[in-house]
Amino acid sequence: MINWSAHAVKIGAFLTMLATGWAAALPGDLPAEVERAAAAFSFARQPLNAADGGRGVREVAPAYQDIRHWISSVGAAVALSDLDGNSRSDDVCLVDPRTDTVTLQPAPQTQDRYPPISLVPSGLPYDPTMAPMGCVPADYDDDGATDVLVYYWGRSPVLFLRGDGPLTGPAAFTPRELVQPFQVWNTNALSLADVDGDGRTDLIVGNYFPDGARVLDPAARSGPELRMQASMSNATNGGSNRVLLSRGGGTYAEAAGAFDQEVADGWTLAIGAQDLDGDGLPELYIANDFAPDHLLRNRSRPGEVSFEVTRGPRHVTTPKSKVLGQDSFKGMGVAFADLNGDEVSDILVSNITQEYGLLESNFAWVSGRGRVFDDAGTAFYTDESEALGLSRSGWGWDIKAGDFNGDGVNEILQATGFLRGTVNRWADLQELAMTNDDLLANPAMWPDFHPDADISGDNVNPFFVRLPGGRYADVGQAVGVADPGASRGIATADVDHDGRLDFAVANQWRQSHFYRNTGPGRPPFLGLQLMRPAGGCSSNAEALSPAIGATVRLAAGAQGTRTGQVYPANGHAGVAAAELMFALRAGTTSVPVEVTWRDTCGRARTAAVDLAPGWHRLRLGDDRSITPVTEGTP
């Protein structure tokens, strides 16, 4: 005789799980509704590099020879910025792993303003055991000109500082070590933010393989640094993440002890910076491949970097991996957008969501109350990815949010795909995922991943559009951006200042593309380039640099999203333009804009200005003034 009362709790829990699962199985999107949504978008795809050429796999250390396709899975990257000083972010920095080149060039159809420029660290230690992984344009030496930082596997990053001459070739940039002497790092993410609130833009560096690991050196002797992750869900044996504080003039100093060991030594693939609590200091989101992601509340003071590790709340129906800071998913990209209209940035995170493979979930961490943090280390974000239709897409990498049709609602772009080959190796990866952690760190214990291996190699990049009911639907195929194959970085900018947001995608081991926005309609918009005097504290220089970290709120006139922050280098391998765009209501002629920023001495400033629709370049003064540099262009 079964004693049903003894099992009542278990039965109740089981029924709760069934009910929760049924509730989560939301109805599919109606085809007609999706078709109508897709009609608002159109893009013209244009190549950024050659269709073919170069290799398709890297030379690696002997310890990694049998998994060299896996090791070769990263390296494509892209950025959009203003390199030639024409006040438009119409210049491309492209990293092509097929040739291990970093190329600067005008965006397609923006005139041949200068010949393509290849950035090579001439005069510095550099050899085939080192490979570029990404480029981040910014003013690093405080002179008002846009420089380029390139980060690598096999060495620490290099600054390419822009000189005074014309942009006609490599001589326009002078390579300089970021750290002296150079070190062997394996960097996969680098973000820009004024971490300590002193008025200077600092660097947050995310390293993947352990420091000192010569991953791409075929002659490297096996040693403890040539290892893989110690766990699929809680590995802290990767490279060391760092905060480098700006000292001005292109010099940086490491903030010792900025991260504890748990945060410092994850296998980091993406970093995001955003001021979530309105105190003028950026929080950091660290997306890790084989360990929980971390949302770090910023408690820093000038010269003293300090972070508090936060955790999200857990409810009775919340799985552990759906709790912020406790996930075991493979964080590979991060972006910020206000998804619920509360003027608090929400957090989008790419994970692995391959059906019949590793079906994790992307994250859409949505703020549920006005106060983001409490004093007990709780961050009030819950994952709403399933309800929003954003939970599944493929093997995710970089992710970006932006308004591509001027309706005030953010669309969401994602780069996807892992290894493209001829033999499906998902079964091998499933076996690897169940390997005992005591064996996992030894690459000799891994299944073979040779150049013929295919793992999510035919993923297409989704383009998520929000439907009237609030859910998102992928219309990438319908609007012509669902390019099949492995992609890595995404960069966004309005390159021609027509009020329509364009984007570029860096693809791994294949041709990369620029997507010009040719969508119907030209709704009113406000575009902002927020600048500060270059040269440091109270310089009052005529030269200007982007005001990284500035926050904008539209008091009236906005169609949809009303707030934005200038953090261009969030994510994995994709750097957006350092500018903001807002959709406006029809008939708007004047927009009251509130800007909050730290001046060049680190003082918090807030001021207001009324602007006409169109693009504006504004000087944010140390005296709290806002001065137009160029007129609006409706």
User: Of 453, 482, 515, which residue sits at a domain end?
Assistant: 515
- The answer on 573 and 504 residing in a single domain is no
- For residue 181, being part of any structural domain is answered with yes
Asked if the bond preceding 181 is cis, omega within 30° of 0, the reply is: yes
What are φ and ψ of residue 345, in 5° steps?
Answer: -65, 130
User: Of 464, 483, 515, which residue sits at a domain end?
Assistant: 515
In angstroms, the Cα distances linking 486 to 43, 125, 425, 479, 505 are 20, 31, 15, 19, 11
Average pLDDT per 10 consecutive residues for the chain, totaling 634 residues: 54 48 47 92 98 92 98 99 98 98 98 96 98 99 98 99 90 97 98 99 99 98 95 96 98 97 97 98 98 98 98 92 93 97 97 88 91 95 97 97 98 98 96 92 97 97 97 97 96 98 98 98 95 89 96 98 99 99 98 98 98 98 93 42
| CATH number assigned to the domain comprising residue 605 | 2.60.40
- For residue 14, being part of any structural domain is answered with no
- For residue 184, being part of any structural domain is answered with yes
For residue 140, give the nearest of 225, 45, 246, 243 by alpha carbon. 246
- For residue 404, being part of any structural domain is answered with yes
- The answer on 366 and 482 residing in a single domain is yes
User: Of 482, 515, 548, which residue sits at a domain end?
Assistant: 515
| Cβ proximity of 319 and 331 under 8 Å | no
- The answer on 565 and 484 residing in a single domain is no
- The answer on 529 and 624 residing in a single domain is yes
- The answer on 446 and 582 residing in a single domain is no
> Against a cut of 0.85, is the pTM above it?
yes
Place of tokens 């982007």: 546
- The answer on 251 and 288 residing in a single domain is yes
- The answer on 439 and 500 residing in a single domain is yes
- For residue 23, being part of any structural domain is answered with no
Sheet holding 294-298, edge to edge: 268-274, 283-288, 294-298, 307-310
- The answer on 585 and 454 residing in a single domain is no
Give the type of residue at 140: Y
- The answer on 546 and 503 residing in a single domain is no
Residue range(s) defining the domain that contains residue 587: 525-630
- The answer on 495 and 583 residing in a single domain is no
- For residue 423, being part of any structural domain is answered with yes
- The answer on 537 and 499 residing in a single domain is no
In this structure, the strands spanning 242-248 and 202-207 are antiparallel
Place of tokens 């040693």: 223
- For residue 377, being part of any structural domain is answered with yes
Place of tokens 């491949």: 289
| CATH number assigned to the domain comprising residue 235 | 2.130.10.10
State how far Cα 428 lies from the chain centre: 29
Beta strands, E only, 303-345: 307-310, 333-337
* Tally of domains in the chain: 2
597 exposure class (CB count in 10 Å sphere: 0-12, 13-18, 19+): buried
- The answer on 187 and 297 residing in a single domain is yes
| Cβ proximity of 433 and 425 under 8 Å | no
- For residue 12, being part of any structural domain is answered with no
Rounded Cα gap, residues 193 and 569, in angstroms: 9
Q: Report helix, strand or coil for 4.
A: helix
- Write down the pLDDT at residue 23: 41
